[in-house]
Amino acid sequence: MGNVVVVGSQWGDEGKGKIVDWLSDRADVVVRYQGGHNAGHTLVIDGKVYKLSLLPSGLVQGKKSIIGNGVVVDPHHFVAEVKKLQDQGVEINPEILTVAENAPLILSVHRELDAIREGQNAGLKIGTTKRGIGPAYEDKVGRRAIRVMDLGEPDALMEKIERLLLHHNALRRGMGIKEINPQTIVDELNEVAAGILPFMGKSWSLLAQYMAEGKRILFEGAQGALLDNDHGTYPFVTSSNVVAGQAAAGAGVGPGALNYVLGITKAYTTRVGEGPFPTEQENETGKFLGEKGHEFGVVTGRKRRCGWFDAVLVAQMVKTSGINGIALTKLDVLDGLDEIKVCVAYEYKGKRIDYLPASMAGQAGVTPVYETYEGWKEISAGARRWADLPAQAIKYVRRIEELIGSPVALLSTSPERLDTIMVIDPFQA
């Protein structure tokens, strides 16, 4: 039995929540390794809907769950989300949930800075969720972050906050914004310290113990690899590394612990926020995909941009994340289309290329080259066997496998957990 890393292979919103929940049945431990509460997962279990944005999806299954050091944690949101799930009947206590002691915290100063930057008329708009994720990661890299463990050392907290505000108040003066009194942040953290400290632990040590015991670990990613700070559509990306390799650093394990990488891949493409999107369909096709696929953000409610499947981008993410197999989701959304297109290459400056350029100008300047396939009128929704799928749908799936260079390990045909066809068990691959 091996450990599995789940990573989104597009711009997020690929349906990771359902797949992680489905895999949690087979796992002993579920770990979040990057991001914050800016990326939502929706789980539908026996008709009951659970919406998570920070807590690992395994909690709903009653599995041991860990928030790793690579995650930035908003302590107020943490307390609220725990309560929300508990109110839905989910058991959450320090035995089942651990938060890494060295995970950085998101503070009100981060949320405010994020919103101010995104709301400015001048400068580049990234399309962030304004939840303070980026500024919190900046402080982590700048070595001035307040971390979970700091809440347990109140005598030293003021000094650390003063050091943090030396930076932030200089920024605020430059933007003509009122400076923050350190006591304000102290009071803010004291409000929630008792709600998060009982969950604090040495996540790296726990994971080493679980691996020694032969437990199966599921590393749960948020967002998608095309939002990776290094390998995504920079600068229209998130503030952390999203590719599968981050699972090791963000959880506190060696790379040898990552046995199988499962890339969650939507059967078409969506994107939230600003940035390049070569196959975007601002027409009736895009409207069809958006309405039928219920393409609205779990966290923000923002409408997602929709377009055809981009095999160039997914193939590139297969390489950068070392994806062993994909979980193809939302195939059923394509039911009823007369024809379906797939981007198989780009044209750029008169040449045909098989990759997305790294530069902003290059990403904005590519034109998709499409192959067109016959659609299917039969229903794939709810299929649980290959034999239940329309013949044209199977042809579409097989062509995607060829184009991206990775097999389909799982195929999802609805939001319901059981509407899943397993070809390869990632834990046994």
Distance (Å, rounded) from C-alpha 273 to C-alpha 125?
9
What tokens were used for 178? 């009122």
Distance (Å) of CA 358 to CA 162, 299, 320, 364: 39, 29, 13, 10
Least confident of 184-193, 256-265, 301-310: 301-310
> Across all residues in the chain, what is the average pLDDT?
93
Catalytic residue among 37, 41, 77, 168: 41
Decide if pLDDT at 121 tops 60.
Answer: no
User: Contact at 8 Å (CB) between 411 and 328?
Assistant: yes
Least confident of 38-47, 216-225, 373-382: 38-47
Is residue 370 classed exposed, middle or buried when 0-12, 13-18 and 19+ CB atoms within 10 A define those classes? middle
- Give residue 19's Cα distance to chain centre: 12
Among this protein's residues, is 425 annotated catalytic?
no
Strand 260-266 with 48-52, pairing = unpaired
Give the predicted TM-score (pTM) of the model. 0.93
Decide if pLDDT at 300 tops 70.
Answer: no
Beta bridge partners of 341: 372
Block residue for tokens 């895009």 = 286
What is the model's pLDDT at position 429? 82
Mean pLDDT for the stretch of residues 145-159: 96
232-245 pLDDT tens trace: 999 999 999 999 99
Catalytic residue among 13, 74, 150, 228: 13
Among this protein's residues, is 41 annotated catalytic?
yes
Cα radius of gyration (the chain): 22
Which band of pLDDT confidence, cut at 50, 70 and 90, is reported for residue 39?
Answer: low
Region of 94 (left: φ > 0; alpha: ψ -120 to 50; beta: rest) is: alpha
What is the model's pLDDT at position 249? 97
Decide if pLDDT at 330 tops 70.
Answer: yes
